[in-house]
Structure 1
Amino acid sequence: MFAYYFDLALRSFRRNRVLTALMVLAIALGIGASMTTLTVFHVLSGDPIPQKSAKLFIPQLDPQSMDGYTKGEEPDDQVTRYDAEQLLRESKGDRQALMTGGGVAVQPDKQGLAPFGIDARYTSADFFPMFDIPFLAGTPWTKSSDDAHDRVVVITKKLSEKLYGTVQSVGKTLRMDGNDFRIVGVMDDYRPKPKFYDLNSDRYGEAEQIYLPFST
């Protein structure tokens, strides 16, 4: 039976080669479009931290007065600095991380390397264990460093290699915005998709390369 239908297909192809080629092309384009759609869906709907996503929560507090309040309206996605620092001090969760994005000007010691600006994340010590940040060298700073406003910094593998030619840069001094910071840790490659810990920034862009204590 298969041979019979195969023979019919060959005869049809010989009679209408252009039409058959167009049909095959249309089917191929349809398959390609479907696979592209499925790939995009998989990337956009993926869980960037499945082992912890059910345990991570973002608090929402409404700092506004009752003037203009509408019942059922969602509060802002971000809390105020005062509320964030108060929540951090109260330590109600097993781990808590206060954070915001920003930028710094790096002033390298390396000969021939000009100063440059780079994205940074200002956060607290629990950020690293909360989000399973991988380290190649050193460790994150501790809560005592947060409390003491220590000038410490964690940088990425990429930045360490750019500045020092190696990932073994723990203990070195990094000058930023006119201030010296001591490198305590070097992160391995880390690029969650989406960047779930800050959906107000570029969700699918590069992660920051510098991490500083918010309190400093």
Structure 2
Amino acid sequence: MTDQERATRPRPRLPAALALLLPALTSALLLVLIPALPAQAHDRLESSAPADGAVLDIAPTSVVLTFSAPPIGLGAKVVVTGPDGAVVSSGDPRVVDRTVTEDLAGDLPAGQYRVEWRVTSSDGHPVSGELTYTASAPAPSTSPPSSSSTNAAPATASPASPSSSPAVDDDVPAGAASSSGPQGWVLAGVAVLALALAAGVGTALRRRR
């Protein structure tokens, strides 16, 4: 076949149906690929402590989220709700490198907790999500001691019970100390009788003279 014959030979054409479908297939492919490309650039949550769906022995006092890249600290928010519906998260979370830490406060009872988080991805897009965990027992109480125990008066030593026998002062004469008991009255009576007898004898002697 000569070159002139090749040039004049008609070229094969696409079927008419395929030619009509090709623009539509191209548009559909672009619609699928274009939204997926930015989503791959967003930071994603790699792990959490507690993990999603975990069952713990004791309620933790903080929640730590670890992302695939360091998120932007501005706009980070972590809300932790307890079993009774009360919010137990305390203040703004701490963003350090790839971790976001939220401290928990108040009563932390046993039951299921819900964690809702939102951070700003390193590419500037907000990302969010949620997880749950369950505590089998409440967190240890950190409340200060009650006022009744704090203000209680210190225990004082009870006064010594008096001795059954009164102590004798060394400065008091023995006679004075003994006269206070029944024995002292007896001695006093004997002394009075002796004085009366002596007086009677003296009177009798004077009369004889």
Q: Which has the higher strand share?
A: 2
User: What TM-score comes out, normalization by structure 2 length?
Assistant: 0.27
